[in-house]
Structure 1
Amino acid sequence: MIEPFRIAVPQADLDDLTDRLSRTRWPNEVTDAEWDYGFPLGRLKELAEHWRTRYDWREHEAELNELPHFTTEIDGQNIHFVHVRSSKPDALALVLTHGWPGSFLEFLDVIEPLSRDFHLVIPSIPGFGFSGPTHERGWDIVRIARAWAELMRRLGYERYGAQGGDFGSGISTALGAVAPGQVVGVHVNYLPTAPVPDAGIELSESDEARLDKVGQLLANRPPFQALQALTPQTIGYALTDSPVGQLAWIAERFAQWTDPRSPISDERMLTDISLYWLTATAASSARLHHDAPRRREPCPVPVGVAVFAYDITQSVRPLAERLYDIRHWSEFDRGGHFAAMEVPELLAEDIRDFFLTLARTHTE
């Protein structure tokens, strides 16, 4: 059963957030620390004060409620999603999947341009946001992909495309693998390509530089990733109890993974962080790092890739082609890991080009 959903956070939860922020116990910081020890104290205090005194959740809640929200239960798990229908009745449907530390909010600025040509289904990953916490083991990328296939079936879509970045990229390619008869293609804006020794593939100097960057990341695993992959419950206690802890945990990612020329506004970032805080999904969202496979399975449907200059890593096409049927490849000199929020016009146009080209190919 699919039911309409309206966001209505209890006022007591908002009052509790304000109270906790006012009683923050701050650590000290060494002189001239900047980013050498982690998120700078001065900047975090500025964000916390903004959150406590100027940020208005009710204003953003009202704007979000202008979208058509729904929930349904799949495989014993509540699933929240936004469903925006195009004015074109025969439009192709797209399922858009966010990652961590994002949410369905990532896609707010691409809804209008994409809905001109596509029906849009934008779910919240189980364990994230309004889908609520997961309650059992096993909600990995493939299980989520199967849930998305069931969701699209319930909505009556027999053929559709999939798009995503971060975890949304892995879920989208997994969806192409579990439902190849329904998925016409997959577009991603994040596609890790690890070095393959003795693969016999000739790589350019720029490709080798990209692999060096991947090697450095693999050798120096980011602390957040290690903690969420190994002990998500442990870090979840701190993040669920301290709003400033949750703030620093996510704001650091937005600061380090975005193009400095296209920063995400504090208001948008605080709305995303508020979503994690108000739904108490810090621990359950972190579990996806624990449960996600360390490698990707081949995807049998056509794939389009958008590579953004300031993403965590940049894909290497010759290596991507070993696993995927690459039909579309775009390189952008702007934008980072949160492309849908940073450069929505570039991402939306690339998604449109890929899927409309696929649609024309199918009709010829």
Structure 2
Amino acid sequence: MSDDPPRPEPFTSRTAPAALEDLRQRLRATRWPDSPEEAGWSLGTDLDYLRELVAYWADGFDWPAQEAALARLPRFRVPLGGLGIHFVHARAVAPTGPVLPLVLGHGWPDSFWRYTKVVPLLTDPGAHGADPADAFDVVVPDMPGYGFSDRPTGAALDSIAVAGLWAELMGVLGYSRFGAAGGDIGSHVSRYLALDHPDRVVAVHRTDAGVPVFTGDPADLAPEERAWLDDAVAWGGTEGAYAAMHRTKPQTAAVGLNDSPAGLAAWIVEKLRAWSDCDGDVERSFTKDEILTNLTLYWFTGTIGSSMRMYRANAAIPLTQLARRVEVPSGFALFPGDIVRPPRAWLERTTNVVRVTEPARGGHFAAFEEPELYAEELRAFFRPYRAAMSR
């Protein structure tokens, strides 16, 4: 039995023509539901828009071209914890100072796709009008059950376990110290990286604080915190049905979503619209090709069910873990189109907050919606911590 460390291997995905033709046939054969007149997006995904999107997916979308574009990223797979983990590893270009390794955490409903626009801005800032001294080595892993990483055959991993895998991955890549950043579940994972590996994580940046959990006396909260908790409860009542399904009966939904590409599109595109800074027009934030690249990744990897099951795993994380205080220096960029944005008073309850900003544009998928703004947020936040890499 070998004790050699795991070795990353280059990875490129190639879709068989027969699989692509099967997808197109399924799209053309969609059995459409009825919809009340003038329903629009009020009951969920707008049927008229979905028909338009599905028609383009079947007969206009060039998946081979998108797959070729993704192949230009430096992508790898490595065995970790009994699973094959897919990741992007892009090294800094022409740095003029200490290079900070940075692991970026995605969420649902996405994968490494979330960061495809921002990777070159972070690795080669000098080519994009920024200071070359702000260059990062960027690592973007797909969580187990997402994208091109393996799907766990048993119980899904929670964010704590994924954080442990990312710490191991960064060690395999030769990084003893690094920064962490993320949004959505990736925010959660980044938090646990800071909590469980404070000797290795120099700083952590997040775009949200997750769904609030508070078991104390509401009288101890500031007025803005109480208002935020009320807003979060109201949001859950009107927008949280998907999460309740993911936490409780994900396998029921997975059967239909894994069999019907139109159903998969309906499940995901509604969230892209609702959570982005698009003023109700999803294509203000994402082109059809961008939406369909994300959807097609889910379709060909068959990961919609495994991605949803992570919600169930995270719902079982004990409250004692959620209440732990992050002492690693932390920053937050609260984009205006994101959901249930926390007040600073809440962030400071369990986090060593050193920076909070409110960028002018962007939503839940800020790295994809506004890559330049997001890249500048990371450059500015991590700049003071680069000196740690030379020690």
TM tier, smaller: over 0.9
Structure 2 residue 212 is matched with structure 1 residue 185:
no
Distance 1:61 1:221, change over 3 A: closer
1:277 aligns with 2:304: no
Q: The residue matched to 2:171 in structure 1 has which SS?
A: helix
Cα displacement string for residues 163-196 of structure 1 (whole angstroms, at most 9, x for unaligned residues): 1000000001111112111111110011134566
The answer (yes or no) to whether the contact 1:132–1:281 under 8 Å persists in 2 is: no
Q: Contact (CA 8 Å) 2:98, 2:390: kept in 1 or not?
A: no
SS for the counterpart of 1:322 is: helix
Q: Distance in 2 between matches of 1:138 and 1:6?
A: 25
- In structure 1, the residue matched to 2:113 is 105
Q: Which 10-residue stretch deviates more, 128-137 or 46-55?
A: 128-137
Tell me, what secondary structure is at the counterpart of 1:136?
coil
Q: Secondary structure at the match of 1:335?
A: coil
Could you tell which deviates more after superposition, 31-40 or 322-331? 31-40
Among 327, 334, 341, the alignment partner of 1:314 is 341
In 2, are the aligned partners of 1:309 and 1:333 still within 8 Å (CA)? yes
User: 2:156 touches 2:306 (CA, 8 Å); kept in 1?
Assistant: no
Asked whether the 8 Å contact 2:98–2:387 carries over to 1, the reply is no
Shift of 1:32: 1.5
Task: Report deviation, 1:52.
Answer: 0.5
What is the rounded CA distance, in whole Å, between the counterparts of 1:285 and 1:346 in structure 2? 28
What amino acid sits opposite 1:111 in the alignment? Answer: V
Q: CA deviation at 1:29?
A: 1.2
Are 1:27 and 2:58 an aligned pair? Answer: no
SS of residue paired to 2:356: strand
Spell out, residue by residue over 1:192-239, the C-alpha distance to the aligned partner (whole angstroms, 9 max, x if none).
3456644634445xx554443213124446111111111111111111
Is structure 2 residue 384 aligned with structure 1 residue 357?
Answer: yes
Would the aligned equivalents of 2:247 and 2:311 in 1 still touch at CA under 8 Å? yes
> What does residue 3 of structure 2 align with?
none
* Equivalent residue, structure 1, for 2:189: 171
Give ranges in structure 2 of 5+ residues lacking alignment: 1-6, 125-134
Give the aligned partner of residue 313 of structure 2.
291
Out of 55, 58, 74, the residue aligned to residue 52 of structure 1 is 58
SS of match in other structure, 1:272: helix
Most deviating of 285-294 and 58-67: 285-294
Q: Which residue of 1 aligns with 2:74?
A: 68
Distance 1:100 1:254 in 2: 10
Q: 2:365 corresponds to which residue? A: 338
CA RMSD in angstroms, aligned pairs only: 1.9
Q: Distance in 2 between matches of 1:103 and 1:20?
A: 24
- Do the aligned residues in 2 keep the contact of 1:132 with 1:279 (CA within 8 Å)? no
Give the structure 1 partner of residue 220 of structure 2.
200
Cα-to-partner distance string for 1:231-277 (whole Å, 9 max, x where unaligned) = 11111111110000001100110111111265111111110010000
Distance 1:221 1:111 in 2: 31
What is the alpha-carbon distance in structure 2 between the residues aligned to residue 76 and residue 121 of structure 1? 20
Structure-1 residue corresponding to 2:244: 226
Count of equivalent residues: 362
Taking structure 1 as the reference length, the TM-score comes to: 0.94
* Aligned 8 A contact 1:203 1:318 in 2: no
Q: Distance in 1 between matches of 2:148 and 2:305?
A: 14
Q: Is the 8 A contact 2:202 2:388 kept in 1?
A: no
Following superposition, the deviation at residue 360 of structure 1 comes to 4.7
Q: Which has the higher strand share?
A: 1
Q: Does 1:150 align with 2:158?
A: no
SS of the residue 1:70 aligns to: strand
Aligned partners of 1:95 and 1:161 also within 8 Å:
yes
Query: Please, which moves more after superposition, 29-38 or 317-326?
Result: 29-38
Retained in 2: the 8 A contact 1:194–1:214? Answer: no
CA distance in 1, matches of 2:113, 2:202: 25
* Aligned counterparts of 1:146 and 1:223: Cα–Cα separation in 2: 30
Amino acid at match of 2:258: T
Q: What is the match of residue 303 of structure 1? A: 330
Partner residue of 2:99 out of 91, 100, 103: 91
- Asked if the contact 2:158–2:313 (Cα under 8 Å) also holds between the matched residues in 1, the reply is yes
Give 5+ residue unaligned stretches, structure 1. none
